[in-house]
Structure 1
């Protein structure tokens, strides 16, 4: 399958996911290539008209080299190669993310702010088919993305470029855009998984249906919290259940719909920021086409390489995931302590010991969910670094921890219900069945790790009716609800 791109509006989260996560090819339409060629012609006319002026990375070199205008011969030599960039080494980024970087690099090309030749754009997209250079995951402390972009593109393009193309390829923030879009896509299923697991835990402890009453939505005045309430209520059933307790559940169970509502709002906001970033030019400098004020166009040196939405959005998502992770551990603890639950019904402490595993994952999430402030470690011209890859690395760690902890809570909840022989709400039956099939009652401790991994796969697969119900509640609140 191929994703066809005609204009910048085609750089959507859905198409990002197809190219980056599902390995589909990316193809420019004939009309897109024609516009790209036209933009290139305008850019060449501009550079010829302004060849004696300071145009960053075009008639001058980059960084401190911008102080002097190049001679024609020096400009030709400089134009053939990618500008020098620092490098790092070590553990590579996952391939899905590197594919996403290539996809996000199209934005400036389609907007006409990075005037590559059509043949250069074809070669860029060809990287998706011919193999991607490994890009180190750590040690990226520059403003913008010149370290990973230099690593990704240098071996393919060095010595083959023409004027303006080197700077257009390695400057800007397509890596920041890609990490934000990656987190947005990966986060879409988290609300459904968490809602399903929290509902199963509520059923296990006998949480009163009043905790999820529709009247609360009107009182809380937030469509995202309404979505969470609706998901929990749909899963547990709207009527009073025979097995629910006559008194309120512990705080972690009562707080669940409110915290899920915040996760819902945060996810929607991250998706909005990711879409904006996918379609917004980020290069430095950017070419603006001819206008009445600038008959040959103009080049604007700017801060486009610093996308201010990336790190704060990733930090917000990490915080929301980490809070949900802490709540999951609180619920695991309460279930493991039930006097007539696992602690009383297991022949010896087995699944009731998994509160220790849950605590470990909660601490992993807590430790990683820290603020990613802009760096002031640079010097001279480069006095500020952007922490986008740092923020993404931390968010990935938190997401992994939350996935694991939800699996622990699902396990403890399913076993508690089975051990106590209490009724299972209709829409949670298949979910509990799938969890018990992955981690049966009486499993040998030697199999605990593998079985817990299979419970996580149950959640990842979104195969149960419970998760589908919760996922539909997620999509019921559109982007217009995002603050």
Structure 2
């Protein structure tokens, strides 16, 4: 580099100044604070994005730098607070990441190099992680809502694959295919002879939009990882590109993934709202055709032998989701006391909020799964055969209510298991489930 950074960008630096700068290491060791550290997977995802940056060549990094990132990726992860990270160029989390990869700062000042520090590594990594989890959450959502459809004996025509050419949407078609898989072999006897409430009828369309959002985030994360650059960036040069040079660029500002993450987050709110509606309706005998409040025959709700009143819990969850689901727009405030750094990158706020909303989503669909399970128990019915293993997995965390107990503890156990299933294989979501849960491509192919 031949110029300084931040408020000193107008100053030129020579080899001796670069040597002193390299010897001093990162200017700050860590400035942020929050409620708790980011998860290990989140921090590791940032190093993964940093590796994509180094391999891509924009920072003109050396093999030694690539190995330093590889070692950081495979080693113990530094603790990064989950708050106070929003900044221009995502520099605040970089102070922690660089401390976790000290060899990145040990360089020959004569090396041709741009920068690893000014980039979108943090938001790109977290968005990629959210994309993986979004696909898994959509697979879980289809299983939970199929179980709910069996609880109320919703007409199978609401999920008829013959609707695919009428709707003409690949993501809604994928949703119809998922319901067809989980409802295969469902009984046709005694099913509701008229339409189910809207919250069941519109499931393939609303979950289809969930599929679209997940596919869009996957595509955005792939583009962001492939296009990782830093400030400054090194242009190799060539016959059509002119002389090799380092250029100052705003390419580190990731404007793609924040909006893609927020689309997914909005879908979590909408889908969870359907779950909350269904929990309420399943407890109303005049709507569901089930025993009122899902009580054993002849009992009153105060005996506690039911999931009755758990429907109130969802109100708090949905309210929190809606407040956290606000878009992370560019801040109208000046970012900091700097002549240069006047606009913060919103990607980290979007990713952090989506992660919180997603956990709340797990809680809401967990309550629906528990309610549908208990409804089937009260009705003395089994679901469609493909749902039987899933129902058994739900009941291992939240058994049908035979005697009065603290239902919130079981609901928390099931919600935590759903969150775990969004990260890795479990009895709630197996690898075979995921193999059959392909999303349509973002362009609809």
Using structure 1 for the length normalisation, give the TM-score. 0.81
1:435 counterpart residue number: 394
Of residues 366, 387, 391 in structure 2, which corresponds to 1:407?
366
Q: Distance in 1 between matches of 2:433 and 2:197?
A: 22
Deviation at 1:429, TM superposition (A): 2.4
Which residue in the other structure is 2:308 paired with? 352
Q: Which residue of 2 aligns with 1:116?
A: 61
Instruction: Name the counterpart of 2:320.
Output: 364
Q: Is the contact made by 2:123 and 2:348 (CA closer than 8 Å) also made in structure 1? A: yes
Change (3 A) 1:137 1:165: farther
For structure 2, the residue ranges without an aligned partner over 5 or more in a row are none
Q: Distance in 1 between matches of 2:429 and 2:156?
A: 17
Residues 1:247 and 1:287: Cα distance change in structure 2 (over 3 Å): same
Q: Secondary structure at the match of 1:105?
A: helix
- Look up the SS of the partner of 2:249 in the other structure: coil
Contact 1:81 1:158 in 2 (8 A): no
Q: Do the aligned residues in 2 keep the contact of 1:217 with 1:225 (CA within 8 Å)?
A: yes
Q: Deviations over 1:221-270 (max 9, x none)?
A: 10110111121123223777112111110010001111110001110110
| Partner secondary structure for residue 131 of structure 2 | helix
* Aligned equivalent of 1:388, options 332, 339, 347: 347
Distance of 2:416 and 2:87 partners within structure 1: 37
Q: Does 2:388 correspond to 1:425?
A: no
Deviates more, 1:182-191 or 1:231-240: 231-240
- Other-structure match for 1:376: 332
From 79, 82, 106, the equivalent of 1:134 is 79
After TM superposition, give the deviation of residue 410 of structure 1 in Å.
Answer: 0.7
C-alpha separation in 2, matches of 1:376 and 1:365: 24
Larger fraction in helix: 1
Q: From the superposition, tell whether residues 247 and 112 of structure 1 become closer, same or farther in structure 2 (CA, over 3 Å).
A: same
Further displaced range: 263-272 or 142-151: 142-151
* CA 416–115 in structure 1, closer or farther in 2 if over 3 Å, else same: same
Q: Which residue of 2 aligns with 1:341?
A: 291
Q: What is the rounded CA distance, in whole Å, between the counterparts of 2:240 and 2:165 in structure 1?
A: 53
Deviation track 1:140-191 (CA, whole Å, cap 9, x = no partner) reads 2312211111122147258633337886221111111101111011112111
* Alignment CA distance shift 1:84-1:449 (3 Å): same
Deviation of 1:312 after TM superposition, in Å, equals 0.5
- Match status 1:101 vs 2:46: yes
Instruction: Give the Cα–Cα distance (whole angstroms) in 2 for the partners of residues 159 and 107 of structure 1.
Output: 18
Distance 1:344 1:283, change over 3 A: closer
Distance (Å, rounded) in 1 between the aligned partners of 2:51 and 2:429: 39
Q: Indicate conservation of the 8 Å contact 1:208/1:247, yes or no.
A: yes
Q: What is the distance in 2 between the residues matched to 1:75 and 1:436?
A: 62
2:98 touches 2:105 (CA, 8 Å); kept in 1?
A: no
Partner of 1:153: 98
Q: CA deviation at 1:293?
A: 5.6
Residue 73 of structure 1: aligned partner = 16
Give how far 1:107 is off: 2.1
Determine the structure 2 residue equivalent to 1:248. Answer: 195
Residue 424 (structure 2) pairs with residue 475 (structure 1): no
Instruction: Give the match's secondary structure for 1:189.
Output: helix
**Change over 3 Å in CA distance of 1:331–1:143 after alignment to 2:** same
Q: Give yes or no for contact 1:225–1:261 (8 Å, CA) kept in 2.
A: yes
- Kindly provide the CA deviation profile for residues 20-63 of structure 1, in whole angstroms up to 9, marking residues without a partner as x: xxxxxxxxxxxxxxxxxxxxxxxxxxxxxxxxxxxxxx111102
Indicate the RMSD between aligned Cα atoms, in angstroms: 2.6
Verify the 8 A CA contact 1:435 1:458 in the aligned structure 2. Answer: no
Q: How many residues align?
A: 425
Deviation at 1:471, TM superposition (A): 4.0
Give me the whole-angstrom Cα distance separating, in 2, the residues matched to 1:316 and 1:426. 34
Between the aligned partners of 1:237 and 1:293, the Cα distance in structure 2 is 59
Task: From the superposition, tell whether residues 394 and 444 of structure 1 become closer, same or farther in structure 2 (CA, over 3 Å).
Answer: farther
Bigger mean CA offset, 273-282 vs 75-84: 75-84
Q: Which residue number corresponds to residue 318 of structure 1?
A: 265
Which residue pairs with 1:191 in the alignment?
Answer: 138
Find the partner of 1:225 among 155, 163, 172: 172
The separation in 1 between residues aligned to 2:255 and 2:105, in whole angstroms, is 33
Query: Quick check: 156-165 or 309-318, which moved more?
Result: 156-165
Change (3 A) 1:220 1:59: same
**Deviation larger for 70-79 or 463-472:** 463-472
CA–CA separation in structure 2 for the residues paired with 1:332 and 1:465: 20
